[in-house]
């Protein structure tokens, strides 16, 4: 697998304080995920500049939004993202959603061109189907490095995980805490109580223990940032994992 990501990264949607980013980096976060539509790339960039950690130790990812996926817009918007981030290049650039201006035959070569010119290191997809991933793989010169999708105990598309493993790319789970719904689930609650940890940590540990999957929970407080990072050290038993696999809940949260 070309891209090695830590089991727990930082989702930054809604974070508007650079110091939160800087603190997370100095705490040990090495994978930072943002997007044009989050409107906080400048915040993330400022946080990176404040942190006393070498740039080469970080994996910085952003995403091109659906209205900027025409070829000229891909380059222009990516250059604007780099300017806001204060970086010469990002490690990973995603197609955020294959909708609106997305045309695989023209959008994807524009991503290849950015990679060839050194503005991005790797290319990712987000919210794709297996059919769309297959089409992208045929068109791209570069490999697909990551696919970012909603994944948590209440929603999992295992066909996407199977595809990721076959293709050799990482599945990046967003909304890994199901927007807080993990705190209301009795099974997660039981395991958390038995372990002396939180339901959030149980969910993150469940994801971290799935081969080929990493997650990007969002947190702002020092307490939650530390707790999320520590979840990677929790090794669930096969019995605990089976209990979580049987959880039913709200299902998909983001369309």
pLDDT in tens, 23-34: 999 999 999 999
Domain that holds residue 73: 10-245
Domain at 222, CATH number: 3.20.20.100
Joined together, the tokens standing for residue 218 give: 């969002």
pLDDT in tens, 183-209: 999 999 999 999 999 999 999 999 999
- As annotated, the active-site residues are 38
**255 belongs to a structural domain:** no
**Does any domain span residue 251?**
no
CB 27 within 8 A of CB 2: no
Residue 126 lies in a domain: yes
pTM confidence score: 0.97
CA pair distance 8, 237, nearest whole angstrom: 19
How far is residue 104's CA from residue 126's CA, in Å, rounded to a whole number? Answer: 13
Instruction: List the chain pLDDT tens, one digit each, 255 residues.
Output: 478 999 999 999 999 999 999 999 999 999 999 999 999 999 999 999 999 999 999 999 999 999 999 999 999 999 999 999 999 999 999 999 999 999 999 999 999 999 999 999 999 999 999 999 999 999 999 999 999 999 999 999 999 999 999 999 999 999 999 999 999 999 999 999 999 999 999 999 999 999 999 999 999 999 999 999 999 999 999 999 999 999 987 688 887
Establish if 227 belongs to a structural domain.
yes
Give the Cα separation of 94 and 4 in Å (integer). Answer: 16
Distance CA 137, CA 142 (A): 8
Whether residue 133 is contained in a domain is answered as yes
Domain assignment of residue 20, yes or no: yes
Does any domain span residue 250?
no
Residue 47 lies in a domain: yes
Looking at the structure of the chain, the number of domains it has is: 1
Residues 172, 178, 182: CA angle, nearest 5 degrees: 120
């Amino acid at each position: 697998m070309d891209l090695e990501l830590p089991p727990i990264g930082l989702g930054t949607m809604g974070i508007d304080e650079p110091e939160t980013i800087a603190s997370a980096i100095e705490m040990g976060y090495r994978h930072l995920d943002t997007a044009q539509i989050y409107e906080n790339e400048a915040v993330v960039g400022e946080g990176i500049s404040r942190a006393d950690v070498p740039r080469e130790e970080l994996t910085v990812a952003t995403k091109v939004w659906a209205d900027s996926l025409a070829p000229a817009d891909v380059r222009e918007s990516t250059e604007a993202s780099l300017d806001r981030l204060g970086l010469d290049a990002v490690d990973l650039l995603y197609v955020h959603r294959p909708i609106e201006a997305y045309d695989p035959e023209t959008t994807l070569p524009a991503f290849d061109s950015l990679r060839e010119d050194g503005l991005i290191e790797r290319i990712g997809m987000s919210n794709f189907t297996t059919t769309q991933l297959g089409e992208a793989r045929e068109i791209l010169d570069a490999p697909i490095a990551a696919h970012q999708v909603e994944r948590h105990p209440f929603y999992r598309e295992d066909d996407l995980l199977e595809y990721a493993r076959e293709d050799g790319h990482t599945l990046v789970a967003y909304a890994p805490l199901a927007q807080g719904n993990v705190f209301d689930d009795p099974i997660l609650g039981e395991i958390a109580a038995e372990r002396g940890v939180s339901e959030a940590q149980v969910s993150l540990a469940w994801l971290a223990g799935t081969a080929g999957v990493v997650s990007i929970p969002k947190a702002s407080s020092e307490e939650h940032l530390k707790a999320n990072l520590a979840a990677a050290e929790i090794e669930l038993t096969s019995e605990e994992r089976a209990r979580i696999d049987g959880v039913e809940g709200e299902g998909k949260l983001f369309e």
